[in-house]
Amino acid sequence: MGAIKYPGEPPNQSIVLNLLDMTANHQRKTIVVVLLIGAWFIFKGADILAHWVDRWFWF
């Protein structure tokens, strides 16, 4: 495809779009990592909570 320049078009539009693409990709990865860490903390927290409940409320 030939790059047709329109008046007022930013010269490095494709570079900007690529950067936006990479940023969106990075955000997706970050969200996945945060979710994984959050899930790990929830499981770990449930573990610790169960341990303390066992210790204090064992009849």
The per-residue pLDDT for 52 is: 84
What percentage of residues in the chain have a pLDDT greater than 70? 75
pLDDT band at 16 (very low <50, low <70, confident <90, very high): confident
pLDDT band at 12 (very low <50, low <70, confident <90, very high): low
Q: Give the torsion through C-alpha atoms of 16, 21, 26, 31, to 10 deg.
A: 130
d(CA 6, CA 9): 5
The per-residue pLDDT for 41 is: 92
- pTM comes to 0.47
Contact 10, 16 (CB under 8 A): yes
